[in-house]
Amino acid sequence: MNAVPPIRSRGPWELAFERLRRDRAAIASAITILVALVVALTAPLLAQLTGHSPIAQFTETGLSPTGIPVGPGREFWLGTDGLGRDVLVRIAYGTRISLLVGVLASGLAVLIGAVVGIAAGWHGGAVDTVLSRFMDVVLSLPFLVLALALAALVGPGLGVSIFLIAFFSWASVGRIVRAEARAIREREYVQAARAIGAGSARIMFVEMLPVVSATVIVYATLLIPSSIAFEATLSFLGLGVPPPTPTWGNMLTDAMAYYKVAWWLLLFPAAALLSITYAFNVLGDSVRDALDPRHDQTIGAGRGGAA
Amino acid sequence: MTAEVLVQLREVVKEFPVQSRGAFGGRSERLQAVAGVSFELRRGETLGLVGESGCGKSTLARCVVRLLEPSAGQVLFDGHDISTASHAELGPYRRRMQMIFQDPYGSLNPRRRVGSIIGDPFAIHGVGLAGERRRKVQDLMALVGLNPEHYNRFPADFSGGQRQRIGIARAIALRPELIVCDEPVSALDVSIQAQILNLLDELQGELGLTYLFISHDLSVVRHVSDRVAVMYLGRIAEIAPSEALYERARHPYTRALLSAVPVFDPDEGRAHASVLLTGDPPSPLDPPRGCRFHPRCPRAQARCAAEEPQLIPRAGDGPEHTTACHFPLADGETMSTGAAPGVTP
């Protein structure tokens, strides 16, 4: 029998992925992110390899007789900090926190933003008014002041950081999704779904969500670097994950006391922070270009903007 | 030939609030898109609904399938008033009436595969098991002339005509009784139009469908309709069996619309000279008093501005042919004479 091979259609996602694969900037940033991911996952391995736990203080070998941190060398590849701890191992462990917070916080923010935005855009009327005003309020809050107050109130920690970052990030996603959902509501395919008898939930999640998901994915990618920077800010101010757990932010805080004599304390965590946020920003821009090739303007944190 | 009435419209009105923004708060006005329309649709027939853009025909169509809730009046579907029914109450009726949209690009979600789009009616109304649905969808695709193998493709992979077939497959999935076709071919090439019209015709015979066929193209409507209703500024100007409307149009507006249809064969000849309408239709925000057509009508008299004409049989027509005009055209009469016969201005 001459069986017809099943015809497979390349959907919009597949086409976007094709475009992304041909984008060299996207590949470079994806590799950077992948490296960071590997470093994060293998941090305990690195600790074993070097024999340096991230919180162990090597007062004998890691500090000069006068108590000054030692620079990069054979024993400590990226030097030690003021307490004689291995900077390399600490950066590796810090990567875990940064990626975890970046991905979870922006994931949470995008989830809330998408649901609230679609609900506001689809329902319109009073629901839209209430949700939109609420988003305006959240967006107008002085986030650093409030974050400081809240973190001080409930005490610093990983969960608190993620929640705070998500809370101050979702509204910008929500606003954009709402605008898009309002436009989609008037489209004929939504009318068609209603004519068939689809209810609100089905229209919101089956008809609208796939259409706004391109925007949502772009925003998620662009929110990750700002979440990472946000987490570093909180840690830097002592309101993130509490010491001795290493984060890039609290490493930078520690560096403030020593950077005149120990440049590596400032340079390496800052370089890690910069490269990962920059990579995510570039990737976000590329993802947006891939999903919507006609769109060539920079939205939100642009290429090199927030990095 | 008194066929069973499937849908009855009684004085259907649809108003939209219009905000006119001023410096000190806006004034709220009401735009009456449909201003009291009554007619009936009989089981198995095709009723054509024609009119210029903005005359309210699409709004009326959306009131019939309850995508819009009429501001006043009743829509009776098989004897039940659905004009104010809730989402839950409408459920069973949604299965029995469907709509085909004008824009084959806008009416299909670009991010969903056509198999899942066509399968929507089954999913929403819980018809068939998941495994069964795929076969049902493929049967539908074959029925409307699509390759069932293209089940997994996205709307962007299809041409305009094929997309319209997808929309038709979705509409007939639950074997409805009524299908409202809102300009189903006006976005398509002429060669494709004929294919889609033939498909609609075949499906009507096969599934016993009733069509409300909306178009601004009189030649298309003539081709498909058993009866034709002419709409002007939210009201029905004239309604008649196709043949009668095209041969003996009574309303000056109908005559003007007909004369605007290009003639392909000059030898065919026509009973009336070309009638040109002057000006645009008036704003539905501020419709003319009396007959809504009188400011543009070459036969308008003082009475036309004062009194709104009833939609009743005129000039010796049977009950099937009704016209809303005080001074209807007689058989063979041309409009160039200006004044109506037997009336002194």
Chain A residues in contact with B77 by the CB 8 A cut-off are: none
CB contact under 8 A, A188 and B121: no
The CA distances from residue B59 to A60, A181, B54, B100, in Å, are: 84, 22, 9, 14
Burial (CB < 10 A; 0-12, 13-18, 19+), residue B124, is buried
Max Cα-Cα span within chain A: 86
Of A188, A211, A213, the CB nearest to B107: A188
Domain A12-291, what architecture?
Answer: Orthogonal Bundle (1.10)
Question: Residue A144 corresponds to which tokens in the numbers above?
Answer: 């650093």
CB contact under 8 A, A192 and B157: no
Total count of residues recorded for chain A: 307
Per-residue confidence (pLDDT) for residue A255, from 0 to 100: 85
Of B94, B109, B112, the CB nearest to A196: B94
Q: Are A228 and A273 in contact (CB under 8 A)?
A: yes
SS3 A5: coil
CB atoms within 10 A of CB A93: 25
CB contact under 8 A, A189 and B153: no
Q: Rounded distance, CA A253 to CA A20, Å?
A: 37
Question: Residue B309 corresponds to which tokens in the numbers above?
Answer: 């004409």
Owner of token pair 């409300």: B212
Non-local CB neighbours of A307 within 8 Å, separated by 6+ positions: A225, A274, A277, A278, A281
Mean pLDDT, consecutive 10-residue segments, chain B of 345 residues?
81 85 66 90 94 88 92 92 88 91 89 91 85 89 92 89 93 93 89 91 92 90 92 92 89 87 58 62 82 86 86 83 89 60 40
Non-local CB neighbours of A87 within 8 Å, separated by 6+ positions: A76, A78, A79, A80, A81, A251, A264, A265, A268, A269
Non-local CB neighbours of A233 within 8 Å, separated by 6+ positions: A144, A249
CB contact under 8 A, A187 and B90: no
Q: Which ranges of chain A does DSSP label H, i.e. alpha helix?
A: 12-21, 24-41, 43-50, 87-123, 125-140, 143-154, 158-185, 188-196, 200-202, 209-236, 248-255, 263-291
Closest-CA residue of B relative to A8 is B152
Per-residue confidence (pLDDT) for residue B2, from 0 to 100: 54
Q: Are B218 and B50 in contact (CB under 8 A)?
A: yes
Q: Rounded distance, CA B315 to CA B331, Å?
A: 9
Per-residue confidence (pLDDT) for residue B64, from 0 to 100: 93
Closest-CA residue of B relative to A3 is B149
Phi, psi dihedral angles at B10 (to 5 degrees): -125, 110
**Peptide bond between residue A244 and the one before it cis (omega within 30 degrees of 0):** yes
Per-residue confidence (pLDDT) for residue A297, from 0 to 100: 43
Tens digits of per-residue pLDDT, A1-55?
455 566 566 677 788 888 888 888 889 999 999 999 999 999 889 888 888 888 8
Tens digits of per-residue pLDDT, A176-217?
999 999 999 988 899 999 999 888 999 999 999 988 988 888
DSSP per-residue letters across A170-210: HHHHHHHHHHHHHHHHTSHHHHHHHHHT--HHHIIIIIIHH
Per-residue confidence (pLDDT) for residue B342, from 0 to 100: 41
Q: Rounded distance, CA B101 to CA B93, Å?
A: 19
SS3 A29: helix
What is the nearest CA distance from A290 to chain B, expressed in angstroms?
Answer: 15
Tens digits of per-residue pLDDT, A100-126?
999 999 999 999 999 999 999 999 889
SS3 B12: strand
Per-residue confidence (pLDDT) for residue A306, from 0 to 100: 35
Which of B103, B105, B109, B182 to mutate against chain A (most A CBs within 10 Å)?
B109
β-pairing verdict for B80-81 and B97-100: unpaired
In chain B, where the domains are located: 250-345
- Mean pLDDT over all residues of chain A? 85
Q: Rounded distance, CA B138 to CA B152, Å?
A: 11
Q: Which ranges of chain B does DSSP label H, i.e. alpha helix?
A: 57-64, 87-94, 114-124, 130-143, 160-172, 190-207, 218-224, 242-247, 252-259, 302-306
Q: Rounded distance, CA B256 to CA B274, Å?
A: 7
Closest-CA residue of B relative to A6 is B149
The CA distances from residue A36 to A97, A99, A105, A107, A125, in Å, are: 11, 8, 18, 18, 45
Which of A196, A200, A213 to mutate against chain B (most B CBs within 10 Å)?
A196
Asked if the model's pLDDT at residue A276 lies above 50, the reply is yes
Chain B residues in contact with A192 by the CB 8 A cut-off are: 99, 101, 107-108, 167, 170
Non-local CB neighbours of B337 within 8 Å, separated by 6+ positions: none
In chain A, where the domains are located: 12-291
Question: Residue A70 corresponds to which tokens in the numbers above?
Answer: 């030692």
Q: Rounded distance, CA A283 to CA B48, Å?
A: 54
Per-residue confidence (pLDDT) for residue B343, from 0 to 100: 41
- CA-based angle B197:B184:B88, to the nearest 5? 120
Bridge partners (DSSP) of residue A69 are A63
Chain A residues in contact with B98 by the CB 8 A cut-off are: 195-196
Bridge partners (DSSP) of residue B27 are B20
Instruction: Return the sign of the alpha-carbon dihedral for residues B311, B316, B318, B321.
Output: negative
Tens digits of per-residue pLDDT, A246-273?
888 888 888 888 888 888 888 999 999 9
Question: Residue B7 corresponds to which tokens in the numbers above?
Answer: 């849908």
Asked if the model's pLDDT at residue A307 lies above 70, the reply is no
Q: Rounded distance, CA A254 to CA B212, Å?
A: 76
Instruction: Return the sign of the alpha-carbon dihedral for residues B146, B147, B149, B155.
Output: negative
Chain A residues in contact with B65 by the CB 8 A cut-off are: 195
Q: Which of residues 184-223 of A touch B (CB under 8 A)?
A: 187-189, 191-199, 202, 206-207, 210-211, 213
Owner of token pair 């001459």: A2
CB contact under 8 A, B103 and A189: no
Question: Residue A256 corresponds to which tokens in the numbers above?
Answer: 């403030």
Which of B94, B111, B133 to mutate against chain A (most A CBs within 10 Å)?
B111
